Structure formats: C-alpha cells, structure tokens
Amino acid sequence: MLIGADSGGTFTDVVGTDGRILKIPSTPADPGAAVRDGVAGLTGGGSRPELLAHGTTVATNAVLEGRLARVALVTTEGFADVVEIGRQQRPSLYDPWHDRPEPLVGREDRLEVHERLDAAGAVLVPLGPELPRPADGVEAVAVCLLHADLEPAHEREVAARLRALGWDVSASHEVSPEFREFERTVTTVLNAALRPVCGPYLAGLAGEAGEVAVMTSAGGLVGLDAAAASPASLLLSGPAAGARAAAAVAAACGFPDAVSFDMGGTSTDVCLVLDGAPAEVAQHEVAGRPVRLPSVDVHTVGAGGGSIAHLDAGGALVVGPASAGAVPGPACYGRGGTLPTVTDADLVAGRLPAGVGLSGIGALDHGAAITALAAAGVDAEGVIRVVEAGMEQAVRRVSVERGVDPAGLALVAFGGAGPLHACGLADSLGMAAVIVPAAAGVLSAVGLLTSPRRRELVRSRARPGDPSGLDDDLAALAAEAVALLPGATVRTFVDARYAGQSHELTVIDPSGFAAEHRARNGYDRPGHPVEVTAVRAVATLPAPAAIEEVLAAWAGRWPEPVVGPVALVRDDCTIWVPQGWVGSEGALGSLVLRRRAEA
Amino acid sequence: MSGAADLQVLIARLTGIAEEMGAVLQRAAFSPNIKERADCSAAVFDAEGRMLAQAAHIPVHLGSLPASVAAVIARFGTSLGPGEQAMVNDPYEGGTHLNDLTLVAPCWVDGELIGWAANRAHHADLGGAAPGSLPADATEIQQEGLRLPPVRVTDDTVAVVLASSRTPDERAGDLDAQLGANAVGVARLARLSPSSFHEVLEHGERCCRAALDRLGEGEWTASDVLDSTAAGADGSDPARIVCTVRHRDGRLTVDFTGTDAQRPGNVNAPEAVTVSCVSFAVRAALDPDLPANAGVLRPVEVVAPPGTLVAATFPAAVGAGNVEVSQRIADVCLRALAGAVPDRVGAASQGTMNNVLIGTAHPGVSGAAWVYYETVGGGQGGRPPRPGFPGAVARPGMSGVHTGMTNTRNTPVEALERAYPMRVLRQRLRRGSGGAGLAPGGEGIERELLVLEDVVVSLITERRVSPPWGLAGGGPGAVGENWLLPGGDEARAERLADKCTIRLGAGDVLRMLTPGGGGWGPPA
C-alpha cells in the first residue's frame, strides 16, 4: 500500500491508495507521532507500506513560531547588513509600529569576507586567506556572496573551508542560484536555520515505509535526503499538494482552467489552475520574508471560519483580521468564545444545519451563535456576504495577476469552510461551476499520492543579452536535472525580459516571449531586444498513484438530485447549495454544482 | 438590517478595483521605477471627482491624486468620451512634480458619467536640464522637463512625451501600462451602482471623526527647517515650515501660516503635496486604518498660504517638493500632533528620501542613454510604547528603512550592477547614527557607488544640516553626508552639498551616509 500523510494544524490526514482515510489529532510537540499513528492505523500494524508521501508543516511552523537555529551569515565585504536592510521598505505605510520581520541573523553573527566579483562573475578581488569564525552557539552557517549565482567559486571555497571545520553550511549557489542578493540571502539563511530543525524530524520518519517522499512547495515529491538538505523548499508543502489535487479534479471534470479555494479556520488559500496544473512562481513569501524557490502560486488570505466580525468606527461590518482560532473558537463551539465568527454566521444562516456536529467539536450551540452576533450588532447574512466579498478580491487577484478573467472558470472548493461559501463566491465572479472534490476534507493528503516526483533547477546567465550558447546552457541544465532524477522527463524554460526591464517572465523559449508579454501585460515591443537572465529545468517522474485509483472508492456517494437550497453534511465537510443551484456527480466522485439555468 | 454589510461589500469592491488597477499597472509597467520600486498609485472617483478608494504604494500619492482628476474635470467637463483618457503632470494644474504623469479616464454607463479612474506613475525621465528630470539647480519649472496640462491621450500627445524623454522606450511601455490600468478600472466601476457611492464617503467621514475623538480640543504649533533650497541667492539658507494644528468643534485645521515664502530653487511644494502630507500625519498619529477616500478629509481643513514653500505658485520649480519638502511637512505635522497625542508620535525619522539620479544622454561604454533613479532608506525615529497594547515598551526605530512620504524598494546591488555601468562598493547600516534615547533612533545607510563611465549626477537630499529631532528627552539622529571621492581616492574626498547636480568621470566614487532617526525618551 501507498500512504499519503498531511500534517495540519488540528488534524493529520492520512489516505491510502485503497481510498481509506483517517483523521488523527495532530501532535504539535512531536508531529511525527501523528504521522506514525496514521500509518499504523491504515496498515493495521501489518506490513510496512511501500511508500509514505508526506506533507509537512514542520518547516513552516518553525518559521512562524521563530523556532529557528542560530545562524551565522558570511557575506562579501561591505554587505553584512543586506539581511537587515532588505528592500528598505516598511510593511505598513501608516502604522509606525508595524515592524519588518526580525532579521534572521543577529548583528554579531554577520561575518564578511574579503572578495568581490563583477557583474559578469569575473574576479575583481580574489578571496582572502582568512576565514571568518562563527561564534560559540551558532548552529549553522549561511554563505551568500555577491554575484555567486554567476560564479560560485568563492562561495564554494568558503563553504568547503567551513565544512572542513565541521560546520553545517548552506551556500546560496546551492540553495537558490538566482540574482537579487536580498532574496537569495534570506532564502539561504532560512535554509540554514531550518536544517537543524527539519533534519532530525525527517530522519525520524525514514523507517515508516519502504520509501519516504516529501512534498515541496512546488508540488513535487522528493526523497528524504533532498528534503532535509533543502528544507526552505518545504514551506508550502501542504497547500501545494492540495492545489495539485484540486487541479487534477477540475481537469477531470472538464475544467482545465480553474481556481482552487481552500478555506479553513483561520486562513484561506487560493490558487489559479491553468491547463490542469497550479500556476507556479519563482518566489513566494512566508511570514513577510521572501523565499526564492519555485512554488505553486498560492495566495493566502487571513480570513476563515474563525474570523471575527465587528462594526468598525464608521459603522461598516468588517470580518477579521482577528480570529477566534481553535480556542476559544467560534461562539457556537461552546468553548468560551463570545465573539461572532463566520462559522457562527454559517450556523445561524442555516448553512451549517442545526444539530450537526463537527468532528472533534461535537454539537454546535445555536443559541450562543445568535447571542454573539446580536451582541456585536451584526447579522449572519451580512457577515457571510462580507467574507465572500473579501474572497472575491482574492480570487480576482490571483487570476488578474496572470491576465486571466475568473469568469467562466470553475471554483474547486475544499477545506472545512470552502464548500460553505463557494457558490456565493462563484455567483459574484460569474464563474461557471463549483466543484467539490471527493474527499474534500483530506484533499491535500490525496494530492500527496498523486503528485509527480519532481526536481527543479535554475542557472543565471552572465550575459543576458547574448543569445549564443543558450541551447547549450539549456541542454547542460537538462542533463543535470536528469542526473538528479534518472529516467525523468525534462522540460526547460527561460526567464526572459526586454532589455531595460527589471522583471522577467518564464517562458518555454525566447521566441514565445513577446506573445506571453502581450497576454500578461497587454502589449509587446516588436524589434526591442529580448534578454534571457536565467535558464530553468523541471524534471518529473509520474506520481506514485493515479488520482483515479485513490478516489475510486468515492464514486456514487452523492444524493441525486442535489437541488438548492440544501446543506449536504458529509463526514469531512459541509456543502451549502443555495437557491437556484443544482448539482450532480462529476468525474472522480466529485460534486459539480451549477446555476439551474445552465444545468 | 444589512446596511453595514452592503456598505462593507461596496468598500471591498471599490478597494478591489483600485488594487486591481494598481496590480495591472505594476505588472505591465516597463521601467524598473514602477515595476520594481512601485512608485505609482491608482484610484477610483465618483462623477464629481471625489475619491472613493485608492491603492497607494507610497504615501505622497495619497491626497494628491484627486487634484489631477479635478483639473481634468475643470478642463474637459463631460467632453472626454467613453474610451478616451487624459494625461496631466503640470504641478500648476493638478500635478505634483513633472515626473508624476497621471492618467485619468471617465466611466460612462448608458450615456451617464458615473465616475473616473485615475492612476499615477513616476516616469524616470521626462526631459529637463538633467537626467531624471529633477535638476538640483532649477529655478523655474520649465527647466525641469515637459509640462503637460490636462490633454487627451492621442498618438500625437504620446509622441510629444516620448520625444521629450531620454528613455522613450520605457515611457512607451509605462504609458501602455497606465492606459491598461485605467481601462480595467473603468470596466469594473461600470458594473457598480453609483447611487450608493456617497455612503462610502460618509463612512470615511465617520471613521475620521472617530479618530479625531482621540484628540482633545486645543491648538499645537511646531516648526522645522529645510537645509537649503538649492539655487538662488538665498538658496543655501534654511527655509522654515510652520504648522499649527487646531482641533475645535469637531474640526481639525492644519494651518501653515508663518511658513517661508517660496524660493527660486526647486524646494517648493504644490498644495496637493501638502494635503498628502497632512493625510499621512493624521493617519500615522491617529488611525493607520482610516480608509483612503475623500470623505475622510471632510472634517479636516488645510490652510496653505499661496506663494509659500507649501503652496508654490507658477513659475516656481517644484522638483524637490514631492520628494523632500513633503518629508519636512510630514515631520512638522507630526511634531505638532505630538503635542496633542504624545503617546502616539515617535521621534523624527530620517526626514529625507536621499534622491540619487544618475544618467547620461551621451553614452560611453554602455552604448545607450540611461537614467537611474534611487532613493535611499535611513533611520526611523524611536517610538513610544505601542498605544492600545498594555505592557508594550518603547521601541527603537527601524534601521535602513524608508519612512514618511515614500516607501519605494531599493534596486538590488546585483540588478543594478548588471543593468548600469556602476558598481556598489559598500552598502551597510551606518552604525551609531541613531539618536540616543530610551528608544534609540534607527540607523542610516552607508553607500558607495563607483561610476564606470562619465555621467551627470543629481543629489536631492535633506537633513544634512539640521538633524532629525529627538522627542520626549531623546537625542537627535546623525545628519546625513554626501561625499565625492575623485578617482575613488579617499585623500581627495570632498563634501558635497545637500542638493547639487554635478558631472562625474569614470572611476569617481559617490559616498552617501543617510541620517539616523531621532531618539525617543531620555537615555537610560
């Protein structure tokens, strides 16, 4: 058997290729315990599974909670403070107390080396013989020298000398060999700071299956060793798996272009799907810090079922950003919460049927929800419309950013609260259909089994304006990628821009750049020189399991017909089908909802 | 009873339109200044030109965009048809400084004008006496570049803009992005019902009144100086800005009477910039979450006597108004407000944007004309304990950060060196430059730039003479310093003025030390 295990804040979801699922309460102090329990639960203590595919929150939580190793940073002389100056922006225009994230490296741990390369990677100042000495108490070292993405010789030498002394070193040309020193530095430092945290955790899972694979932010499975070496690539592990599975379900239902909508208790993840795959980006943000590694382009909104509603000073009904969290939670949880949340509004509005119990919570307290809403002077329908208006902006944002109009796409709803709000959201955006996948409550765990094994490589080009040698660069990188993943299919891309621009578009080859620029930005510049700043390669091997196999057991579980208004209560989520909407079973055991006129 | 929800849904949609316009503008822009530094903003307006929502990336655009729409309405009335757009940059007819080109588009629905979409972007070069269109020695607006009153955007008028610029390719791409952003705004605004737009303004007004309740009634005055006004006989004398804040009968008056007369140099601000600074200071001191709409300013009156530094009249040069005078106006407003709400205002931040403009129209090694524009961060002032957070403690200012009226990103060293014939020799925090205090000021930045071909450099900087002030017993931050090292030779280092336009030869090094923030509270 193959098993997918996705660690979440509340539950660890476990799915087998036979379609069985388990929801195990997460064990934050030792997240591996819930994973091990889940594996044991599915195997019944019998033979070890052939494969465990894991989505982990260990790296993300370490960043969010500041549980990071102490890191020394080695930079080019004169540039020790890049990690603090950043892009010199403040996070809030008007709030003087809104600080930037703390620099990940203390001033005493920023070390400079005497060396310098020029903008083409040629040596201006040779690397000096002296080696900076990390202080006692430092657990890992990051090395990020200027222009090392073009010429890593100095970085390699510094890293080798430090490794010879026993230091755990992350070098920027290994972690994120792309230009723009602040982003590369932060990514490298995060990687260094996470290795001592993630390494032992991942090693502890090694015996759980014949093979253990880990989901990266880019939505691909890598082996335990690769994951432990590059934990900065795991920061969107769970959301990436969910987006990949959502994309597969949408495509199977006839919607290769869609938006995934994963609404949970405290936040909501939205991702554009094009041609059956989640959109990807070369850089994302975690807790206000840039991470320059490939990832699915998930946009997170700080609103979910637990978001608190109130009237602002001007009398408008505002939802969030404060959240009741799991404790005290929504008023209807009966755990002491008195402030009205989206979940309370869903209950009072009848979207969550009275008497329904939520897994792990039990029966909901209808009266407490009514009291909380009334005390705050807000009404249930109003709260719902406001939270959906916020989600509407998030969906528009991920699609408009890519020059795509969300009207006509499908909305793939999952997570505890997604299917409660999807139809309203789809209505306001003119979207064609709402798809609730089978196993919507454990979709990320399904995605772990059905995502490809994958590695990504990138190399900067020293002379972006010179097209000669581009084919050789691409072929060399492709060969490198295959060496990492023998037998893989490799696709190559280039980062291209018009000369004079400071931003790049990733396209298959430079000849397609003008068309992509026109599609994304509305114009192109015929005759203007095109530069290639970097080459990329993506190597993939097929997923461990086909999604048809994993979801086979879920066919035929929807009532027929589904006619709104009705709330469908399932084990893993509740679906609200409003007046005027009808649904029927679609591919892969999903429920496809449409407005009646179109059904 | 869903009025409160309907209102918020409308606010969310209007804000969403402005943000979507901003996203289109930033995504599609050609030049690094807009794309990478986000020196741009977008907003939607009702039919009378009252701002309904704005997506601002830098505060100096906050209150000044409405003046552009007002100027377009004054000139065109309803004669701009569906699909047409106007553009304007004239500081004396709706603009701020010439670099900021604002595009304004009407939104027609079934023959009725229901609103406007507008966006502004800082164009790196629109002609004038020095690359970057901010010549430090300008004495009249004509020297600063192309001056456009509100005109229709046509192939002909665009051709004039391109012909005026040292970098026409960038301009063409940026204008396409601006046109596209407004087109998106108009299309989306057309789907909303204008009959409720007034409720958004009334909400803004109520929010502002609630914020003003934090102020007792009274009158508070503060003054501060600009180091110099560059050109002219009195150009090297400090120039004074005086601000009196009066709160009476639910109205806030911000009165600049007593401010020095405008000067021959470019250190003069149009009134629209002054309104932006007042908006900024009110938010920073009273409520950072105030909505960005015209209703918010209804309880606020700005008195800016014409012909002064804060309400310049034709033909004054105004290049530094947006980028430097604005910082001092914000400082003075905040200092006056500190008298009213001492627990909500920190010490002075660096108080300058440290503008550096470098370029050449006569390329040497690089083979093409180029213009590089950068602003450099510095120290934030030390801060009192965060209001509303019991147990909070006074906090040092952030270091190497943009404060006040700007928030543009820096150009990464690696990106800069690969794009321009220049090399950054050093970019570090300026240790020890923050003012002493219970909460010390943040530190400035030390930056050395080597030029690899002959160029023209303009520096437009402040706080090189008068330091960022401490507050509540804290000490001042270190003043900034500008230096030229001919041929990179430390022994021949010469101090440069705070504002200057000079020629550099290949191998020369420009060294800039930016100011630290003031300290807050007596040092321990």
Instruction: Select from B23, B207, B412 the Cβ nearest to the Cβ of A401.
Output: B23
Is the bond preceding residue A561 a cis peptide, omega within 30 degrees?
Answer: yes
Radius of gyration over every alpha carbon of chain B, rounded to an integer in angstroms:
22
Please, what's the largest Cα pairwise distance for chain A? Answer: 77
CB pair distance less than 8 Å for A89 and B408: yes
- Token look-up 């009404």 returns A379
Q: Do A94 and B284 touch (CB under 8 A)?
A: yes
Over the stretch A122-148, which tens digit does the pLDDT of each residue have? 999 999 998 889 999 999 999 999 999
Residue whose pair of structure tokens reads 């093409």 in the numeric block: B368
Tell me the mean pLDDT in the region A167-196. Answer: 97
From CA B229, how far away is CA A33, in angstroms rounded? 68
Q: Give the pairing type, strands A221-223 and A211-215.
A: antiparallel
Q: How far is CA B184 from the centre of its chain?
A: 25
Whether B86 shows a pLDDT value over 70: the answer reads yes
Q: A485 to chain B, minimum CA–CA distance in Å?
A: 32
Q: Which residues of A touch B415 (CB under 8 A)?
A: 179-180, 502
Mean pLDDT within A102-118: 97
Residue of A nearest to B404 (CA): A93
Hey, of A89, A404, A427, which one would you mutate to test binding to chain B, going by the most B CBs within 10 A of its CB?
Answer: A89
| Dist CA B188 CA B199 (whole Å) | 19
Q: Which residues contact residue A355 at a Cβ distance below 8 angstroms, ignoring those fewer than 6 apart?
A: A363
* Three-class secondary structure of residue B334 per DSSP: helix
β-pairing verdict for B509-513 and B481-485: antiparallel
CB B39 within 8 A of CB B29: no
Which helix (H) or strand (E) segment holds residue A505: the answer is: strand A505-507
pTM: 0.95
Instruction: Choose, out of A292, A502, A520, the residue to mutate when testing the contact with B (most B CBs < 10 Å).
Output: A502
The H or E element spanning position A347 is helix A342-348
Say whether A119 and B423 touch across the interface (CB within 8 A): yes
CA dihedral A222, A225, A230, A236 (to 10 degrees): 40
Kindly determine whether residue A313 and residue B206, on different chains, have CB atoms separated by under 8 Å: yes
Closest residue in A to B386 (Cα–Cα): A97
Q: How far is CA A187 from the centre of its chain?
A: 15
Q: The tokens 């997240």 sit on which residue?
A: A31
**Collapsing DSSP states into helix, strand and coil, what is residue B194?**
helix
Q: A570 pLDDT band (50/70/90 cuts)? A: confident
A90–B380 CB contact, under 8 Å: yes
d(CA A474, CA A493) in angstroms, rounded, equals: 8
Q: Give the chain B residue whose CA is nearest to the CA of A92.
A: B288
Residues of A in contact with B177 (CB under 8 A): 521-523
Please report the pLDDT score of residue B337 as a whole number.
97
Number of residues that make up chain B: 524
The contacts of residue B257 (CB under 8 Å, 6+ apart) are B242, B244, B303, B305
Question: In whole numbers, what is the pLDDT of chain A averaged over residues?
Answer: 94
Helix residue spans in A401-469 (DSSP H): 418-429, 443-450
Contact B2 A385 (CB under 8 A): yes
CB contact under 8 A, B12 and A389: yes
Nearest CA in chain B to A404: B24
**A147, A182, A396: residue with CB nearest B20:** A396
A179 with B418: Cβ contact below 8 A: yes
A497-513 pLDDT per residue, tens: 998 888 889 999 999 99
Confidence of residue A86 (pLDDT cuts 50, 70, 90): very high
Give the DSSP letter string of A520-582. Answer: HHS---TTS-EEEEEEEEEEEE--SS-HHHHTGGGTT-S-SSEESSEEEE-SS-EEEE-TTEE
Supply the mean pLDDT for chain B.
94
Give the C-alpha separation, B436 to B426, whole Å. Answer: 25
Q: Does the distance separating the beta carbons of A80 and B428 come in below 8 Å?
A: yes
| CA contacts within 13 A on the Cβ side of A262 | 25
Report helix angle B3-28 to A380-400, nearest 10: 10
Q: State the CB neighbour count (10 A cutoff) for residue A522.
A: 18
Cβ–Cβ below 8 Å for A93 and B1: no
Q: Over the stretch A213-238, which tens digit does the pLDDT of each residue have?
A: 999 999 999 999 999 999 999 999 98
Partners of residue A317 in chain B, C-beta under 8 Å: 4-5, 7-8
B203 → closest Cβ in A90, A314, A383: A314
A31 upstream amide cis, omega within 30 of 0:
no
Q: CA of B425: which chain A residue's CA is closest?
A: A78
Q: Mean pLDDT, to the nearest integer, of B384-397?
A: 96
Classify burial at B487, counting beta carbons within 10 Å of its beta carbon; exposed 0-12, middle 13-18, buried 19 or more.
exposed
Structure tokens at A283: 């850089």
**Interchain proximity B4–A316, CB inside 8 Å:** yes
pLDDT score recorded for residue B1: 35
Say if residue A10's pLDDT is above 90. Answer: no
Looking at the DSSP bridge assignments, the partners of residue A258 are: A273, A410
Conformation bin of residue A426: beta by default, left when phi > 0, alpha when psi is -120 to 50:
alpha
Average pLDDT over residues A281-294: 95
Say what the pLDDT of residue A160 is. Answer: 97
What DSSP character marks residue A118?
-
On the question of pLDDT at B364 being above 80, the answer is no
How many Cβ contacts (< 8 angstroms) between chains A and B? 222
CB B40 within 8 A of CB B57: yes
CB-CB neighbors (< 8 A) of A396 in chain B: 16, 20
Q: Which amino acid is at B297?
A: L
Q: What is the pLDDT of residue A523?
A: 81
The mean pLDDT value for A290-319 works out to: 95
- Considering only the beta carbons, identify the residue of A88, A93, A315 that sits closest to B56: A93
- End-to-end alpha carbon distance in chain B: 55
Q: Of A435, A104, A89, A63, give the one whose Cα is nearest residue A217.
A: A63
* Contact between residue A261 and residue A412 where contact means Cβ atoms under 8 Å apart: yes
Q: What pLDDT, on the 0 to 100 scale, is given for residue B366?
A: 60
- The answer to whether A42 touches A20, Cβ cutoff 8 Å, is yes
ipTM over the 0.90 cut-off: yes
Sheet hosting strand B218-226, strand order edge to edge: B218-226, B239-248, B251-255, B300-303
**Residues in chain B closer than 8 A to A401 (CB atoms):** 23, 27
Residue-wise burial string across B182-198, b where 16 or more C-beta atoms lie within 10 A, e elsewhere: bbbbbebbbebebeebe
Give the tens place of pLDDT for each residue, A19-44. Answer: 888 988 888 888 999 999 999 999 98
CB contact under 8 A, B383 and A96: yes
CA distance A114 to chain B (A): 12
Q: Which of A84, A378, A397 sits opposite B429 (nearest CB)?
A: A84
Indicate yes or no: CB of B32 within 8 angstroms of CB of A501: yes
